[in-house]
Amino acid sequence: MQIYLVGGAVRDELLGLEVKDRDWVVVGATPGDMLKKGYKQVGADFPVFLHPGSREEYALARTERKQGRGYHGFEVYSAPDVTLEDDLKRRDLTINAMARDEQGHIVDPFNGQQDLDNRLLRHVSNAFAEDPLRILRTARFAARLQPLGFRVCDQTMALMRTMVAEGEVDHLVAERVWQEIQRALHENEPGTFFEVLHDTGALAILIPELVPDQAFADAMAALHCVHQRDGSTEERFAALMSPLPEQQSGLRIQALKAPNDCKNLAQLVAAVLPALTRRGEQNRPALSADELYAVLDTADLWRRPERFSLLLNVLTCTLAPADQQIVQFLERASNSASGVEPKALMAQGFTGRALGEAIRRERLQRIQQAITP
């Protein structure tokens, strides 16, 4: 039995980056061997075990053979005769296909160290084309490592374009696509992820509404701004989708199966932006008290003040410089209108529909006072 540290841990050690997760491959062993040593089996599709002490994952060396389209349908073979090189060959990129043995020696059959030095993301073999999810993973690694000067090599870009042209991306399920997008939104340069997808043609399949030049440029600028402000996942996603009209945005968000917090904020941004971006046409940068109230009401400030703060953060990154004053007006209006106490009005005898009208009038009055010079 031989044990090797593999994949991202080896890559990050060689790059001098913090190693967050360690994965291990065991060569020359059977599931019975692992169980005798106290490991606990957790893998359903192939033998993966938890170390009895560290609880880190140890997988038996395996090979995979494609059985169908998309990322499903892989036949997995795991046995003591599978070599370390066999296991590394099934991996996506050369920089992820290195191992370190128990003596500290690097095993690098596919020249991953050379690609690290040259700052290249290169596929290990043509088996890369068997899994379209690898297009998204490669784009995500490009987004993570871009600050270090990494780029996708020309041959891998060509292979990914071929995969897209052959319809492989069409077979990805929305849940897996969302997982990769969510991770990518928090990489070091999230815009690079979408640039790679754009250049391979995959974006035209996954989020076709962002392919036009202006929409793509606006989305990347908004996403970069929110990233610089260390925004949450929902803020980043809302910024990404902000160039899209409300109906288009809603349909695409549904198709991507984004979680509710991301969906709700993105749809809210799409709903309020049209009213806020027509200021230039009317040649007046400020909103009236009624217009401000309508935005606050649409945002449900009264019950969701935390989400309204997220909305303001996204608007700061999506509105044109000439419209930035609107964010200040919204903030002042929200602070004033939030102070209305329904109980005080009830004490004055207002009930039912009359109470609702009284609350609205009081809020409007306070907004007007807040925005009047």
pLDDT value, residue 62: 87
pLDDT in tens, 23-60: 999 999 998 999 999 999 986 667 899 999 999 999 99
Phi, psi of 77 (to 5 degrees): -125, 125
Distance in Å from the first CA to the final CA of the chain: 78
- What letter would DSSP give residue 92? S
Distance of alpha carbon 107 from alpha carbon 10, whole angstroms: 10
Structurally, at CATH architecture level, domain 1-110 sits in: 2-Layer Sandwich (3.30)
> Do 367 and 333 touch, CB atoms closer than 8 A?
yes
> Do 123 and 92 touch, CB atoms closer than 8 A?
yes
pLDDT in tens, 325-344: 889 889 999 999 888 778 88
pTM score, whole prediction: 0.89
Phi, psi of 257 (to 5 degrees): 55, 45
User: Exposure pattern of 70-86 as b/e (b: 16+ CB <10 Å)?
Assistant: bbeebeeebeeebebee
> Do 128 and 134 touch, CB atoms closer than 8 A?
yes
List the helix and strand counts (H, then E) for the chain. 19, 11
> Do 25 and 59 touch, CB atoms closer than 8 A?
yes
Distance of alpha carbon 350 from alpha carbon 52, whole angstroms: 67
Distance of alpha carbon 60 from alpha carbon 278, whole angstroms: 60
Which residues are registered as beta bridge partners of 121? 152
The percent of residues above 70 in pLDDT, for the chain, comes to: 94
Distance of alpha carbon 109 from alpha carbon 291, whole angstroms: 64
Distance of alpha carbon 88 from alpha carbon 97, whole angstroms: 5
Cα of 311 vs its chain's centroid, Å: 18
Q: Where are the domains of the chain?
A: 1-110, 119-206, 279-371
> Do 295 and 331 touch, CB atoms closer than 8 A?
no
Mean pLDDT of all residues belonging to the chain: 91
Rg of the chain in Å (alpha carbons): 26
Q: List the Cα angle 141/143/149 in 5-degree steps.
A: 90
Contacts of 134 (CB under 8 A, 6+ apart): 92, 123, 128
Q: What are the structure tokens assigned to 99, written together?
A: 């191992």
Mean of the pLDDT values across residues 341-361? 84
Residue 141: how many CB atoms within 10 A of its CB? 24
pLDDT in tens, 70-127: 555 556 777 888 899 999 998 999 999 999 999 999 999 999 999 999 999 999 998 8
> Do 61 and 78 touch, CB atoms closer than 8 A?
yes
Sign of CA pseudo-dihedral 30, 33, 35, 39: negative
Domain 119-206 grouped into CATH 1.10.110.30: yes
> Do 268 and 260 touch, CB atoms closer than 8 A?
no
pLDDT value, residue 64: 75
pLDDT value, residue 226: 98
> Do 83 and 61 touch, CB atoms closer than 8 A?
yes
Is the pLDDT at 223 greater than 80? The verdict is yes
pLDDT value, residue 105: 95
Q: List the Cα angle 43/48/52 in 5-degree steps.
A: 115
